[in-house]
A = this chain, B = another copy of it.
Amino acid sequence: MKILVIEDEAKTVQLIKQGLEEQLWEVDIAYDGLIGLQLATRNNYTLIISDIILPGISGLELCRQLRSKGVVSPIILLTALSTTDDKIIGLDAGADDYLAKPFEFRELMARIRALTRRNIGSIQTANLLKIADLEMDLDAKTVTRDGKDIALTAKEFLLLEYFIRHQGRVISKVELAEKIWDITFDTGTNVIEVYINFLRKKIDKDFEPKLLHTQIGMGYVMKK
């Protein structure tokens, strides 16, 4: 049950942190947008509270990037900008709620309860990603299928993480090249095919059902 607070104003941070800890939440703080982004990507927070105006990158950009990376933690944006347009932009950037400063702490708490209520039990508090009987622990960097340990290299791990976070969607090689290898996809390489093969040997070969499927001419999908 961890909450990430991204806010550069010390007083507000203090207020929120203390209040949350009284409610027995574990609280991480980031004073900078980029740090927040890193923390939020690495850990699987129950909830993220972020200011919009931040050093590094803005809260809006943070939302967009987190969502595009497949992070699903609820996000509450907290800001002095309170016109209807600001709210719409915030919500459409991927935020779940938008609270204008100054706000009453009790209302923030109520909105946190509302957003976390339905997740308890369903979203794992641990830093786990799952599909079928395949689990990956993002902290421990371990992967198991059907309870058995599977050793992955760093690239393989990244690749699998991307697939699990986007399960059900066909991912093109161009997208993989950009997101995992950070290269523009020139047909001169076949790293991707090779790595798909590596992954399959490890996570699918000795198991059923197969999870990593190819859609010829389109890309690859991870699904049950």
Contact = CB atoms under 8 A, between A and B. Distances in A.
A114 B75 CA distance: 10
Contacts of A153: 216-217
Nearest to A168: B140
Max chain B CB contacts within 10 Å: which of A110, A155, A218? A110
Given A87-B110, A88-B106, A91-B113, A140 B154 contact: no
Interface string A63-94: 00000001010000000000010011001101
Given A88-B106, A111-B91, A118-B72, A169 B154 contact: no
A110 B123 contact: no
Interface in A92-138: 92, 94-97, 104, 106-107, 109-111, 113-115, 117-118, 121-123
A200 interface: no
Max chain B CB contacts within 10 Å: which of A114, A118, A122, A217? A114
A223 interface: yes
Give the number of times this chain occurs in the complex, counting copies.
Answer: 2
A107 to B, nearest CB: 5
Interface string A139-180: 111000000000001110100000000111110000000000
Contacts of A155: 217
Contacts of A106: 84, 88
A141 B218 contact: yes
A44 to B, nearest CB: 13
Nearest to A140: B168
A221 interface: yes
A215 interface: yes
B170 A140 contact: yes
